[in-house]
């Protein structure tokens, strides 16, 4: 197609002072509109073998994008986050960050490069002049837009070049998976970790202050004692994570003052052990009123009755404090008879 094939009314060289288009220079319009140059055909327009080569090139770029996206996901899963590699001339860098950056960059680049190469070599490049039209979308304009869209879809050869179409859809479908996989960095999956603590049958109750195992005689009526599981030391890796679930508060109540039947069965001579972690937002509980047997969370004033199964009597906490079943071993030390029967601390989305 050349400029001579374009309808005369669409040629920019037409005399249209409203649009500032003039054919020759004069005093009012010192610059003449040169019009459209003759259209020059690309080699892909006249040689189907060249068009096939371009099609394969575009498909290769989309395929590389898909492989790079798969590499991104594989790197995220397989490469340890603390591994480093030496890359010349950058030096030592984090292997995971390098792999994620390279694969994601290659995936996005290949989609863009493939789209550009497709447009420049296979889509129609015929120059078309069109006059500006009013903003209102008249029936004629809507019909023309629909016709132009259909013509553009036809000229994109997306229906005939199935290899390009399919690989493009594959690349565009896979590349969003990179963002989905990154959601994994919001934190490790909880699995069963939130349902279990270090407490198990036979674990001694160790005084947090003295670091010594507790005997029943060490717990006086009306006192509040904090305990941890045997074997958990402050210098251990992950101590804070473990103590945040396993911390205990131990009080001694006269057995006749314990109202909850299960609480009495799980105690030893009136010594009861409850989780120290508030069931509202996980604050440590430390305020005990020995006359009422109430404990108060200092963060939001949730109040629990330790003589009645640690039920909530005031505040925003949603459920009672979990109780640890305890007993005495052959050596006379207080020990756990298992783990907590329910998860400690606040509720979480998969608790059920």
* pLDDT per residue of the chain (352 residues) written in tens, 0 to 9: 444 443 444 334 433 433 344 466 677 767 777 767 787 889 998 899 999 999 999 999 999 999 999 999 999 999 998 898 998 888 889 999 999 999 999 999 999 999 999 999 999 888 777 666 566 778 888 899 999 988 888 888 887 888 998 999 999 999 988 888 887 777 766 667 778 889 999 999 999 989 999 999 999 988 899 999 998 888 888 888 889 889 999 999 999 999 999 999 999 999 999 999 999 988 999 899 988 999 999 999 999 999 999 999 999 998 899 999 999 999 999 999 999 988 898 876 555 4
Strand partners, 138: none
Pull the structure tokens for residue 241: 């994570």
From residue 325, how far is each of 56, 203, 346 by CA, in Å? Answer: 70, 11, 20
Element at 311 (helix H, strand E): strand 311-314
Angle formed at CA 330 by CA 242 and CA 213, multiple of 5 degrees:
35
Pull the structure tokens for residue 77: 């899963």
Are 245 and 197 in contact by the 8 Å Cβ rule? The answer is: yes
Query: Tell me, what's the pLDDT at 11?
Result: 38
Pull the structure tokens for residue 251: 């009080």
The rounded distance, in Å, linking the Cα atoms of 208 and 206 is: 6
Strand partners, 213: 206
The rounded distance, in Å, linking the Cα atoms of 320 and 295 is: 12
Pull the structure tokens for residue 12: 């920019």
* Coil, helix or strand at residue 266: coil
Q: If you ran DSSP here, which 8-state letter would residue 184 be given?
A: G
Query: Tell me, what's the pLDDT at 94?
Result: 92
Residue tagged 């919001």 (tokens): 186
Q: If you ran DSSP here, which 8-state letter would residue 221 be given?
A: B
The rounded distance, in Å, linking the Cα atoms of 291 and 268 is: 20
* Coil, helix or strand at residue 92: strand
From residue 332, how far is each of 75, 103, 172, 181, 205 by CA, in Å? Answer: 54, 62, 68, 53, 12
Strand partners, 207: 227
Alpha helices in the chain (DSSP H): 43-46, 48-78, 95-121, 139-155, 162-174, 176-182, 239-246, 261-265
Pull the structure tokens for residue 187: 């934190």
The rounded distance, in Å, linking the Cα atoms of 49 and 56 is: 11
The total of other beta-carbon atoms located within 10 Å of residue 61's CB is 23
Total-model pTM: 0.50
Query: Tell me, what's the pLDDT at 21?
Result: 46
* Nearest Cα to Cα of residue 272 among 134, 288, 351: 288
Which strands sit side by side in the sheet containing 303-305, from one edge to the other?
Answer: 287-289, 294-296, 303-305, 311-314
């Amino acid at each position: 197609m050349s400029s001579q094939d374009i309808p005369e009314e669409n040629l920019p060289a037409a005399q249209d002072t409203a649009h500032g288009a003039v054919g020759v220079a004069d005093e009012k319009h010192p610059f003449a509109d040169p019009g459209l140059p003759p259209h020059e055909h690309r080699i892909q327009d006249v040689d189907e073998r060249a068009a096939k080569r371009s099609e394969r090139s575009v498909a290769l770029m989309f395929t590389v994008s898909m492989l790079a996206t798969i590499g991104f996901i594989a790197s995220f899963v397989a490469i340890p986050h603390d591994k480093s590699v030496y890359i010349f001339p950058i030096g030592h860098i984090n292997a995971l960050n390098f792999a994620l950056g390279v694969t994601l960059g290659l995936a996005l680049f290949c989609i863009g490069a493939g789209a550009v190469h497709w447009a420049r070599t296979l889509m129609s490049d015929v120059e078309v002049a069109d006059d500006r039209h009013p903003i209102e979308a008249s029936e004629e304009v809507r019909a023309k837009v629909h016709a132009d869209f259909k013509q553009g879809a036809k000229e994109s050869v997306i229906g005939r070049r199935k290899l390009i179409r399919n690989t493009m859809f594959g690349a565009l479908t896979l590349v969003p998976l990179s963002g989905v996989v990154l959601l994994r960095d919001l934190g490790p999956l909880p699995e069963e970790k939130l349902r279990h603590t270090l407490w198990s049958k036979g674990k001694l109750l160790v005084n947090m202050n003295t670091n010594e195992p507790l005997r029943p005689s060490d717990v006086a009526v009306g006192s509040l004692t904090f305990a941890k599981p045997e074997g958990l030391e402050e210098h251990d890796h992950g101590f804070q994570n473990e103590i945040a679930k396993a911390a205990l508060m131990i009080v001694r109540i006269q057995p006749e003052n314990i109202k909850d039947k299960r609480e009495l069965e799980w105690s030893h001579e009136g010594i009861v052990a409850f989780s120290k972690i508030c069931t509202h937002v996980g604050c440590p509980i430390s305020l005990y009123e020995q006359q009422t047997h109430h404990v108060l969370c200092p963060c939001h004033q949730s109040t629990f009755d330790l003589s009645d199964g640690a039920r909530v009597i005031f505040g925003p906490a949603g459920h009672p404090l979990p109780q640890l079943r305890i007993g005495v071993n052959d050596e006379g030390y207080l020990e756990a008879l298992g783990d907590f029967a329910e998860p400690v601390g606040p509720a979480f989305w998969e608790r059920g």
